[in-house]
Amino acid sequence: MEKIEQKFVGRIRGVQGQIAFIECEGSYKPQLNELLTSIEDDSVRLEMHEYKSSNEISCLLLSSAKKIHRNMKVVSTGSQISVPVGDEILGRVMNLYGDAEDGLGPINSSERKSIYDSKTFSSTRKDLSKTELMETGIKVVDFFTPIVRGGRVGLVGGAGVGKTVLINELLRSITNSSEGVALFAGIGERIREGHELWNSLKENDVLKRTALIMGHINKNAAVRFRTAWAAAALAEYFRDVKERDVLFFVDNIFRFLQAGSELSTILGEIPSEFGYQPTLQTEIADFESRLASTDKAYVTSIQTVYVPADEFNNPTVAATLPHLDTVVILSREIAQQGRHPSVDPFKSRSSVLTEDAIGAEHYKAVTRSIEVLNQYEKLSRIVTIVGEEELSVENQKVYQRARKLLNYMTQSLSTTAIYNAVPGVSVSRKDVVSDVKAILDGKYDKIPEEKFLYIGNLKSIGK
């Protein structure tokens, strides 16, 4: 923690949950969000929240309650929470305060940035009308939900449908093909997942251009909530000061908003109609607005959104989706069928799925695919009752081609290779469009549908 000029504030008089109450005894009055500590132990961290009276303040307790006691003297650090910035953070893992968590020693950066130091770029926001697609090598994503450079992407789904696997795969594949830096914010996720991600990035030689900031699920609500602001501050620095493109990954946006809800309850705020914090819409809007692309550089953000109990009407999910350019819905039903990535092409959407953005050939292939899959959904109900043999010859062709298309969209990923020993494959968007067109045109009608499962492009199975 950076020390400036410490000014005496007062003494701790009580603690309620994650709120510490301080009686002001000195002449100095701390400002909102100012970081306080203790003369006895500088690992104690308190953030000024509000004045209860002229001589009593309440603070968010960011460190363990075991470190403080009644009458402990509190001083101000003279600054807000800040994180180290610069190329020195690349290849490193840090916490909310910029302390290293990778066992590689302290992060030796000469510059720090407040996590609240955001600016408004309404006059310099990048015009994304001229789209530039970013290929991921993942067939179902590039075909049905293409990602645009500078856009915001949401990987949305319930527990266990593959959100973390998919974001890790995208982090590896996109960072490899990009010249910018990558930032990963782990908010409310498991420590094991962070360790696995670190090892994966290191093995794929991506770690040296990636910085990771973690607020794991075992941290208190204030730390998890503020981790999102810290990550946004890092993105702003590389975008505005270094003028470098940023790939911004967040796992998980729901945990960020959930931490805000917990914090709101602790602070005694009146909840909204559905039990969440009254500032829910403002918090997600403030966060997303900090990830804007400017004339200096792009910020492309990819965020996982957990859907509690698979209820897509949950207020946190409903508040997040309007801010996203591309929404990739991961389906539990598809995952249970053994199809991964379990992307639902019907519910997913992308703002760049237009003929001008993706080209006439791709647009026509997507349109035909959706039509065929719609027919397949209707025919599936009939097949369930009377069997496939009762369909007309033409409907049988549609049904079989749709199943082959769905099987073709399955794919082995590098992220899961450590578990199933199956090497990951990458397929170009051009090949995917060509393969889909060939399937729909009937060029592979004689090939059994099971041959299309977990392959790369169609060259591997012949005709």
Catalytic center residues: 163, 189-190
Token representation of residue 226: 């503020």
Contact 180, 208 (CB under 8 A): no
Residue written as token pair 């719609």: 374
Spatial separation of the C-alpha atoms in residues 257 and 47, rounded to whole Å = 19
Instruction: Measure the CA angle with vertex 337, ends 188 and 450; round to 5°.
Output: 130
Could you give phi then psi for residue 325, rounded to 5 degrees? -80, -35
Mapping DSSP onto H, E and C, the string for the chain reads CCCCCCEEEEEEEEEECCEEEEEECCCCCCCCCEEEEECCCCCCCEEEEEEEECCEEEEEECCCHHHCCCCCEEEEEEEECEEEECHHHCCCEECCCCCECCCCCCCCCCEEEECCCCCCCCCCECCCCCCCEECCCCHHHHHHCCEECCCEEEEEECCCCCHHHHHHHHHHHHHHCCCCEEEEEEECCCHHHHHHHHHHHHHCCCHHHEEEEEECCCCCHHHHHHHHHHHHHHHHHHHHCCCCCEEEEEECHHHHHHHHHHHHHHCCCCCCCCCCCCCHHHHHHHHHHCCCCECCCCEEEEEEEECHHHCCCCHHHHHHHHHCCEEEEECHHHHHCCCCCCECCCCCEECCCCHHHHCHHHHHHHHHHHHHHHHHHHHHHHHHHHCHHHCCHHHHHHHHHHHHHHHHCCCCCHHHHHHHCCCCCCCCHHHHHHHHHHHHCCCCCCCCHHHHCCCCCHHHCCC
